[in-house]
Amino acid sequence: MAPVNPVAALRIRNVRAALPAAAFEPNPRRLWQVVAHSAIILACYWWIHRWPATAPLAALVIGNSMACFGFIAHEVSHNAVVRHRALKYALLLWTFGLNFVAPTMWNRLHNDAHHANAGTPGDPDRPFLDHEASRATAWYSTVFYPSASSWKTVFVFCHFISYLLRNMVAVFYPAGRKPSIVTSKPSYRNRERLWTGAEIAWMIALQYGVWRVVGATWWGFVWASLVPLCITSTIVMAYVFTQHFLNPIEHETDPIAGTTSLIVPRWIDWLHCNFSFHTEHHVFPAMNSSYYPLVSTALREEAGNDYARIGARDAWRQLWKTRMFRRISERPS
């Protein structure tokens, strides 16, 4: 676990003191969104089965709802929706399961490793560093990371899929070993490997269920599952790249200066559970996301220019100017 920048720690304590206690209570109203998006996805499966010629339109709807599943599951995993362990796990098996995210792997990879080491060499979500340059990492960065040296192809938007697959494979590597295209790997106990394996089997079973529901045809399955996964990845990475790849890599983690929040239309914030307020999430991971705008105001007053919240278009333009490999303590330019 990387040490927390002491200035950031003081700022977080000051912001915390100014917030109402209700902000740190679970928000079970998110469960209605799970019900709504479940109904939408299942209805679209029926739609694809009934009118296969219109499957591409259904795929767009499914992809958006699966992305929303991902944002809700992200909050569920941080105990921001419910705290009952069995209910939480069941929700993750469904909402994360359709997105091919193994909950046990996610807990170690995201909740533990990413949040404890964000913006440091131990962060599994960071770009590759100069000393990690190799044929494999250069290839991966060129295809899947936005930078001044990369090919500007749709594969950049498919990165969430490759991110999940490469880290899923890394779970089963022994001890501290990992594929070279994995930036940083958390340690996994044997029990966690077994649970991850069982969850992968569950996700495959879910995909088989989708295959059957849409008529057991490749045409239906591609539009019901594979294309929506790419759409989900596009939506998710539009946030994640801009929220983490524009910041320097330091030896200390700083949730305020090391993360970027985005400015998007309010209806998108409503639809995506305020995921644009990502600095706010890293400051208070278990917080009810409805309170993120309040935290944003407090951070702007407390941290000044160290708190970054910029327009999504400006963030994307900056991304394409960054270097392929990074140095520690270097701001991308």
Taking the model in full, what pTM does it have? 0.93
- Does 329 fall in a domain? no
What pLDDT sits at residue 151?
64
Residue 40's Cβ-count burial label (10 Å; 0-12, 13-18, 19+) is middle
- Does 24 fall in a domain? no
- pLDDT tens digits, the chain, 333 residues: what are they? 778 889 989 999 999 999 999 999 999 999 999 999 999 999 999 999 999 999 999 999 999 999 999 999 999 999 999 999 999 999 999 999 999 999 999 999 999 999 999 999 999 999 999 999 999 999 999 999 988 877 666 788 899 999 999 999 999 999 889 999 999 999 999 999 999 999 999 999 999 999 999 999 999 999 999 999 999 999 999 999 999 999 889 998 999 988 999 999 999 999 999 999 999 999 999 999 999 999 999 999 999 989 999 999 999 899 888 888 998 875 554
- Does 297 fall in a domain? yes
Query: What tokens were used for 250?
Result: 């330091």
Contact indicator for 233, 157 with CB cutoff of 8 Å: yes
Residue 119 sits at φ, ψ, to 5 deg, of: 75, 15
Contact indicator for 2, 44 with CB cutoff of 8 Å: no
Taken as a whole, the chain contains a residue count of 333
- Does 122 fall in a domain? yes
- Does 327 fall in a domain? no
- Does 115 fall in a domain? yes
What pLDDT sits at residue 333?
46
Give the domain range for residue 231: 6-18+32-319
Domain count for the chain, please give it: 1
- Does 182 fall in a domain? yes
Contact indicator for 245, 146 with CB cutoff of 8 Å: yes
What pLDDT sits at residue 323?
87
- Does 190 fall in a domain? yes
What pLDDT sits at residue 175?
84
